[in-house]
């Protein structure tokens, strides 16, 4: 009871902190993104990369910039991982194998941060800092940039311009991500997160044996891993490792960092479109689903059937005693409802229903609140579906923020919605149908199916967390998951930017008696229903064969 009461207090502190920063931080991001002025540092960057900062790009040019930047980033990170042995501070680590390098490069560039390697054993400091940490910043910035482009598509009229990707990328990194990362990086160091270049230290244990204690620049990577909803751990144990997450306070700070940008971006959205009520409505949809799933996840982990678990006070397997069951569940809900993928407990050891709820979070499309940027543009797509359904109900052309949702817009929305389920179910089917796919499943039966389902759900949704019982470092999974991560990130971006371009070209229709108010509780409930029904119709059969079947057994 004391642990539960303490968790309730921590959740209340978390909600209060998110509420306190919501307005100033959301407004600051809007000002940073829409400001006509460039700082001296930004102008220097534009000169170095040869960018005309005054150029306003059409959606197709904006998209080509995103795709080119992503492909070049994959190639650069792949080369760095392969050549690691020749880099300074490699700590004697060899270059990563080719297919694993490809998988890792795609993973970090797509904001997925899936890891089929042990960080402290496989990578030196240069690869961690110049490779992975850099992509933690840039992949997060790309997601926010795409979301802002869609917002501009809704806000602008009679134009084919959505802004400048290179300007957006630079501003998001320098004005938003870096300052917050520096401040909270210092906070994490002061609270015990490791930050050094000490290398590996061998010590003698009390029993006379030896143990290697790895150091490293952990805090600087930890902070952007959470802030940018990335998730890749410096250590194999991720945020359950005491060097990454030493105590209850750092645990709460990391959950806050995971959620602060996705939730605050709804205020940025309302500010840019000129109607704060629209942002509040999107926030209400995100928060209501997240709070419900989080509450359920805590409950099932504390009340799982079985005398052993009941005597232990909950399902403690795979969980850190310093966090306990409730705050492990809150962390799991935060990480799977965003595209973070960080873990402070092993999701494979959750109860069947608890693991199922984590899976359910991802299958919603990670829009509650979702990743940095990706959650907001996914939620806006859901809102467009909601107004389309409402328009059909009353027999008039659907509109969202004065923009008519016609055949072209709905085709792009449909393609967006179908992308992730297609990648997930095709990957799951290929894994279960092939001997190489089944050979990596370490647990037979429904739990084994859940492990593979979770892996492809994590990859295609760009989450990065895993059910640890899947041996994913094989040729099959390195290739299959890399394809799912790459297409799961870039195909939706293609459809979102095409949608933004289509919306920007329209005028703004005046509101009439038949216009659906998209800021009222009815719209919030309708959008929640759309999200749950779309996910339910798509994934309930797979969930029934996996976690539900395991739980009922």
Q: What is the DSSP letter of 198?
A: -
- Within 13 Å, how many C-alpha atoms sit on residue 278's CB side? 21
> Is residue 203 in a domain?
yes
3-state secondary structure string, 124-142? CHHHHHHHHHHHHHHHHHH
Same domain membership, residue 211 and residue 62: yes
Q: Does 332 fall in a domain?
A: no
Could you tell me whether strands 210-214 and 200-204 are parallel, antiparallel, or unpaired per DSSP bridges? Answer: antiparallel
DSSP code at position 96: P
Q: What does the pLDDT read at residue 2?
A: 66
Q: Rounded CA gap, 477 and 490, in Å?
A: 20
Q: Rounded to whole angstroms, how far apart are CA atoms 319 and 355?
A: 13
Alpha carbon distance 497, 510 (integer Å) = 24
* pLDDT for residue 53 is more than 80: yes
Are the beta carbons of 271 and 318 closer than 8 angstroms? no
Whether 99 is covered by a domain: the verdict is yes
Residue 538 structural domain: 372-552
Please say if the pLDDT value at position 314 is more than 70: no
Coil, strand or helix at 112:
coil
Q: What is the pLDDT of residues 326-366, one digit of tens each?
A: 999 999 999 999 989 899 999 888 888 888 899 899 998 88
Q: Are residues 101 and 239 in the same domain?
A: yes
* Spacing of C-alpha 168 from chain mean position: 19
User: Cα dist. 419→111, 484, 485, 487, 538 in Å?
Assistant: 17, 10, 11, 8, 12
pLDDT at 1 over 60: no
Residue with tokens 């194999």: 236
> Are 231 and 464 spatial neighbours (Cβ–Cβ below 8 Å)?
yes
Q: Is 275 helix (H, G, I), strand (E, B) or coil?
A: coil
Mean pLDDT of 110-129: 92
pTM, whole model, 2 decimals?
0.95
Residues 245, 376 within the same domain: no
Last residue within a domain, chosen from 224, 259, 274: 274
75 belongs to a structural domain: yes
Verify that 265 and 403 share a domain, yes or no: no
Give dist(CA 425, CA 49) in Å, integer.
40
Q: Which residues contact 243 (CB under 8 A, 6 or more apart)?
A: 193, 194, 214, 215, 218, 234, 235
**Model pLDDT for residues 256-304, shown as the tens digit of each residue:** 999 999 999 999 999 999 999 999 999 999 999 999 999 999 998 888 6
Q: Which residue has the tokens 């290697």?
A: 212
Percent of the chain with pLDDT over 90: 73
CA 275 distance to own-chain centroid: 26
Angle between helices 276-302 and 352-363 (to 10 degrees): 160
Half-sphere exposure of 422 (CA within 13 A, CB side): 11
Is 499 domain-assigned?
yes
Percent of the chain with pLDDT over 70: 97
Closest C-alpha to 343, from 446, 220, 195, 235: 235
* 230 plus 122 within the same structural domain: yes
- Radius of gyration of the CA atoms of the chain, in A: 23
Length of the chain, in residues: 553
Is residue 348, in this structure, part of any structural domain at all? no
Domain boundary among 257, 274, 291: 274
Tally the domains of the chain: 2
- Tens-place pLDDT, residues 149-207: 999 999 999 999 999 999 999 999 999 999 999 999 999 999 999 999 988 788 787 88
Quick check: 17 pLDDT over 60? yes
Out of 259, 274, 289, a domain closes at 274
The reply to whether 88 and 207 lie within a common domain is yes
Q: Does 490 reside within a domain? A: yes
Residue 228 lies in a domain: yes
Same domain, 389 and 270: no
Whether omega for the bond prior to residue 154 falls within 30 degrees of 0, making it cis, is: no
The shares of helix, strand and coil residues in the chain, as percent rounded to the nearest 5, are: 70, 5, 30
- Tell me how far apart the alpha carbons of residues 294 and 268 are, in angstroms, rounded to a whole number: 25
């Amino acid at each position: 009871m004391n642990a539960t009461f303490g968790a309730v207090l921590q959740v209340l502190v978390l909600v209060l902190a998110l509420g306190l920063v919501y307005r100033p931080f959301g407004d600051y991001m809007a000002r940073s993104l829409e400001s006509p002025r460039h700082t001296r540092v930004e102008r220097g960057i534009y000169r170095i990369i040869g960018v005309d900062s005054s150029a306003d790009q059409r959606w197709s040019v904006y998209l080509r910039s995103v795709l080119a930047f992503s492909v070049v980033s994959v190639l650069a990170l792949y080369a760095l991982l392969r050549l690691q042995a020749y880099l300074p501070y490699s700590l004697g680590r060899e270059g990563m194998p080719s297919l694993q390098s490809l998988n890792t490069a795609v993973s970090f560039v797509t904001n997925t941060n899936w890891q089929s390697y042990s960080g402290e054993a496989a990578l030196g400091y240069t690869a961690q800092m110049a490779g992975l940490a850099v992509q933690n910043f840039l992949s997060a910035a790309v997601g926010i940039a795409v979301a802002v482009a869609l917002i501009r598509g809704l806000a602008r009229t009679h134009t084919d311009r959505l802004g400048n990707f290179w300007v957006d990328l630079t501003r998001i990194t320098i004005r938003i991500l870096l300052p917050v990362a520096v401040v909270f990086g210092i906070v994490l160091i002061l609270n015990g997160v490791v930050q050094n270049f000490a290398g590996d230290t061998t010590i003698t244990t009390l029993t006379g044996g030896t143990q290697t204690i790895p150091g490293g620049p952990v805090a600087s990577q930890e902070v952007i891993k959470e802030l940018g909803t990335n998730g890749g751990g410096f250590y194999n144990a991720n945020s359950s490792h005491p060097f990454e997450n030493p105590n209850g306070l750092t645990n709460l700070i990391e959950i806050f960092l995971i959620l602060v940008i996705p939730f605050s971006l709804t205020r940025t959205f309302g500010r840019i479109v000129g109607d704060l009520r629209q942002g509040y409505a999107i926030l209400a949809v995100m928060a209501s689903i997240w709070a419900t799933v989080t509450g359920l996840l805590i409950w099932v982990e504390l009340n799982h059937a079985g005398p052993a678990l009941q005597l232990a006070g909950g399902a403690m397997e795979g969980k850190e005693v310093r966090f306990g069951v409730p705050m492990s569940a809150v962390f799991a809900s935060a990480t799977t409802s965003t595209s973070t993928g960080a873990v402070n407990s092993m999701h494979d050891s959750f109860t069947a229903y608890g693991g199922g709820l984590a899976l359910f979070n991802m299958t919603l499309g990670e829009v509650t609140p979702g990743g940095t940027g990706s959650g907001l543009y996914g939620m806006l797509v859901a809102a467009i579906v909601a107004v389309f359904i409402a328009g059909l109900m009353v027999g008039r052309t659907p509109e969202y923020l004065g923009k008519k949702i016609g055949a072209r817009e709905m085709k792009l929305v449909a393609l967006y919605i179908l992308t992730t389920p297609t990648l997930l179910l095709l990957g799951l089917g290929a894994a279960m149908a092939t001997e190489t796919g089944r050979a990596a499943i370490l647990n037979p039966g429904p739990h084994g199916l859940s492990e593979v389902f979770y892996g492809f759900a994590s990859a295609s949704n760009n989450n990065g967390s895993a059910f640890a019982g899947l041996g994913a470092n094989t040729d099959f999974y390195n290739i299959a998951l890399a394809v799912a991560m790459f297409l799961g990130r870039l195909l939706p971006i293609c459809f979102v930017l095409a949608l933004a371009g289509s919306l920007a070209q329209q005028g703004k229709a005046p509101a009439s008696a038949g216009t659906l108010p998209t800021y009222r509780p009815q719209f919030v409930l309708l959008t929640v229903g759309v999200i749950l029904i779309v996910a339910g119709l798509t994934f309930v059969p797979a969930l029934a064969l996996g976690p539900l079947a395991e739980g009922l057994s």
